[in-house]
A and B are shown apart, each in its own frame.
Chain A
Amino acid sequence: MVALTEKEVRLTGFRAAMAPRLREWKYGLYRLWQSKLAIVGLALVVLYVAVALFAPLISPSEAGSLDDYRMRLHFSEGLQPPGWHGKPFGTGENGIDLFHGVVWGTRISMVMGLAITAFGAVVGTILGGLAGYFGGKTDEAIMRLTDVFLAMPILILAMAVTVALGPGLFNIGLALALTWWPSYTRLVRGTVLSIRENQYVEAARAVGASDMRIILRHIIPNSLSPILVQATLDIGSVVLLSAALSFIGFGPSGSNFSEWGNLVSRGQSYMLGHWWVVTIPGLAIFGFVLAFNLLGDGLRDLLDPRLRK
């Protein structure tokens, strides 16, 4: 018999411990592959991520422009419909290139969607976890605060916050970040409450595990899947709301800024007779949100064991 080194022993142990998780992952990927809608969503998400990452290659800045996110103004060129004359999405007010706007706007939407969702999910998870695990006064305090925030439709609350902060993309992001955590707090609290009653948590407590260990090793891993599903769906919703706030008039200044809501908003005033100036940037938003919703729905079916056959 060959003696195993300590490293090998540990590795075997690790493999044995990970085996069920690997099996779970493989099964998950298989299920994802089975669901056509989710695959379409995933493909679209990958496309948007690629556009966001490679924006400088897809639509290089024109010579002499100082800011990639600002489309060059060509006052002499009027509004041109989409076509293969180097402006595939057509041009808007003052000859701005809508293709450039949509491509660089993808980057802005992607960053906002990811950053705001991540912030909301982390803050909400911490608060919801504390409320659900400790209960009592902590729970009361956190949930009463959450109730106040949830008592208003999120668009209207975010609007009011943006009024207080002033216009600009950063302030839109800040307003959404400040209003996004409550739904996670409620979600995570509910999940934690149901997990806390499980026997394996009781067993961990019985062998003397600390609160911290129970939270980190048992509660958080088991409440991850609903959070993951919610976060995927929320990336789309965040982009939908930030575009809406930008459309209302909180957006970046200047008609040539590459942000989707701004493009639609500026296009509104001269869209009659020039259908592409609002249709195309809006389709970019629609596709983005649809992609994350398709993927999120697919993940939900996949991660919820009750929906399995």
Chain B
Amino acid sequence: MALWQYVARRLVLLVPVLLGISVITFGLAWFATHGHLEVQYLRQSDRLHEDQVQRIIQQHGFDKPAYVQYFLYLKDVLHGDLGLSTSVNDPVLDVIKSKFPASVELALVAMVFAVLLGIPWGILSATRRDKPADHVTRFLALSGVSVPVFWLALILQLFLSYYLSQQGFSWFPLFGRYDAILAGSHPSLLNGPTHFLLVDTLLAGDLVAFGDVVRHLVLPGFTLGFVTLAIITRMMRASMLEVLGLDYVRTARAKGLEEKVVVNRHARRNALIPTTTVIGLSLGSLMGGAVLTETIFQWPGLGYWAAKGILSVDTAAIMGFVGLTALIYVLANLLVDVIYAYLDPRVRLD
């Protein structure tokens, strides 16, 4: 089977999964509102007149039985109408569009940090098996998968932001994406073209603002990336150990190649393949972690919005966030499988 046929088949198979997810999100919202989904429109305002209320109920079919409402909901979703997020009083799709860049920027920073550190650490750990370097790396990696993300965030805030600034080193702010006072005199923080602040400030050539953005990114980026770093390190170590025991590596050593060449040219390339998979799959834990990290650092992204939506039973926001997360997750899974098939020709596409 050619690669494009495989991709097409997988995309078709996604349809029932996405339908299943829509059933789950609809069912949960139905439960959460005790069968009165209209509250997500009505709660926004007491100013609505009785006939306006009736019109909303008519328009969205909130007086129909649940299964009919489900199909109406599906129709709305396919038309891009994800409902109204009552916690911010904006359509869900608009909120997602406006908050997406902040979340993606944070997630990318976390991911780059995790990949750049995790791969060399994993290799180090494997090549120095059972030596002190290996023990330290393994312990750190195990801590990374055991630490509660919300607690790590608070500890960093407490010790690296609060207590450090008490000592006169105000390097890392407690929360936010940029300094609000600074933003008054540095417009690139507010209305740049891409809404990725690292890019916007650099495009404007505003190094002061860039530095401010970096300082705000350090703690949340580290918090979010730490779990992924741990997962990548563990995977890289395991697959490196497996590859180093294979015959072709022994052959490479036997013909007298330097250890550096054996590790970097022969072993690493193949050990990277399973690690790529794990990197893609860790997107899931990254998005779960984003809810906690963004909330604690008051990062104006999707996770913070979702957490606020949860506390105010903003069902449309929660349904939208869960649906979006699931969509990103399944697409990432698909991408991982395709990359895997591309990197490892032994994988059969069926």
Residues of A within 8 A of B (CB): 37, 144-145, 147-148, 151-157, 159-161, 163-165, 236, 240, 243-244, 247-250, 264, 268, 271-273, 275, 278-279, 282, 285-286, 289-290, 293-294, 297
CB distance from A279 to the nearest CB of B (A): 7
Chain B residue nearest to A145 (CB atoms) is: B20
Chain B residue nearest to A290 (CB atoms) is: B146
CB pair A165 B31 closer than 8 Å: yes
CA distance A292 to B31 in the complex (A): 35
Q: Which residues from A are CB-within-8-Å of B139? A: 37
Q: A236-B146, A264-B151 are in contact. Are A144 and B20 (CB under 8 A)?
A: yes
Q: A240-B148, A248-B310, A285-B148 are in contact. Are A153 and B20 (CB under 8 A)?
A: no
Q: Which residues from A are CB-within-8-Å of B329? A: 151-153
CB distance from A83 to the nearest CB of B (A): 19
CA distance A154 to B288 in the complex (A): 8
Asked if B147 is at the interface of the complex by the 8 Å CB criterion, the answer is yes
CB pair A285 B318 closer than 8 Å: no
Most B C-beta atoms less than 10 A away, residue of A144, A159, A163: A163
Interface size on B, as a range, is 35 or more
CB pair B148 A164 closer than 8 Å: no
Q: Kindly identify which residue among B138, B310, B325 contacts A152, using a CB–CB cutoff of 8 Å.
A: B325
Residues in B175-190 with C-beta less than 8 Å from chain A = none
Q: Kindly identify which residue among B29, B151, B291, B318 contacts A282, using a CB–CB cutoff of 8 Å.
A: B151
CA distance A281 to B295 in the complex (A): 20
Residues of B within 8 A of A (CB): 16-17, 20-21, 24-25, 27-29, 31-32, 138-139, 142-143, 145-151, 154-155, 158-159, 162-163, 284-285, 287-289, 291-292, 295-296, 306-307, 310-311, 313, 315, 318-319, 321-322, 325-326, 329-330, 333
Q: List, sorted by A's number, 21 A–B pairs whose CB atoms are closer than 8 Å.
A: A37-B142, A147-B20, A148-B20, A151-B21, A151-B333, A156-B288, A157-B24, A159-B318, A161-B28, A163-B313, A164-B29, A248-B307, A249-B307, A264-B148, A268-B154, A271-B158, A273-B162, A275-B163, A278-B154, A282-B148, A286-B148
Q: Which residues from B are CB-within-8-Å of A247? A: 148, 150, 292
Q: A148-B17, A151-B330, A152-B325 are in contact. Are A248 and B291 (CB under 8 A)?
A: yes
Q: How many residue pairs, one in A and one in B, have C-beta atoms under 8 Å apart?
A: 134
Closest 3 A/B residue pairs (Cβ):
A148-B20, A155-B288, A282-B151
Q: Which residues from A are CB-within-8-Å of B319? A: 160
CB distance from B125 to the nearest CB of A (A): 13
Q: Which residues from A are CB-within-8-Å of B147? A: 286, 289
Q: Which residues from A are CB-within-8-Å of B150? A: 243-244, 247, 264
Determine the main DSSP class of B at the interface with A. helix
CB pair A248 B295 closer than 8 Å: yes
CB pair A152 B142 closer than 8 Å: no
Q: Which residues from A are CB-within-8-Å of B287? A: 153, 156
Other A-B pairs beyond A244-B292, A264-B151, A285-B151, 10, CB < 8 Å? A147-B20, A148-B24, A151-B20, A157-B322, A160-B28, A160-B318, A244-B150, A249-B310, A282-B154, A293-B145
Chain A residue nearest to B282 (CB atoms) is: A153
Q: A152-B325, A264-B150, A271-B154 are in contact. Are A164 and B292 (CB under 8 A)?
A: no
Chain A residue nearest to B324 (CB atoms) is: A156
CB pair A286 B158 closer than 8 Å: no
CB distance from A250 to the nearest CB of B (A): 8
Q: Which residues from B are CB-within-8-Å of A154? A: 284, 288
CB distance from B220 to the nearest CB of A (A): 15
CB pair B142 A147 closer than 8 Å: no
Chain A residue nearest to B296 (CB atoms) is: A268
Chain A residue nearest to B314 (CB atoms) is: A163
CB pair A144 B16 closer than 8 Å: yes
Chain B residue nearest to A272 (CB atoms) is: B162
Q: Which residues from B are CB-within-8-Å of A278? A: 151, 154-155, 158
Q: Which residues from B are CB-within-8-Å of A37? A: 138-139, 142
Q: Which residues from A are CB-within-8-Å of B295? A: 248
CA distance A170 to B29 in the complex (A): 20
Chain A residue nearest to B292 (CB atoms) is: A244
Q: Which residues from A are CB-within-8-Å of B333? A: 151
Chain B residue nearest to A144 (CB atoms) is: B16
Q: Which residues from B are CB-within-8-Å of A297? A: 142
Q: A148-B21, A275-B159 are in contact. Are A156 and B31 (CB under 8 A)?
A: no
CB pair A163 B325 closer than 8 Å: no
CA distance A86 to B21 in the complex (A): 52
Q: Which residues from B are CB-within-8-Å of A282? A: 148, 151, 154-155
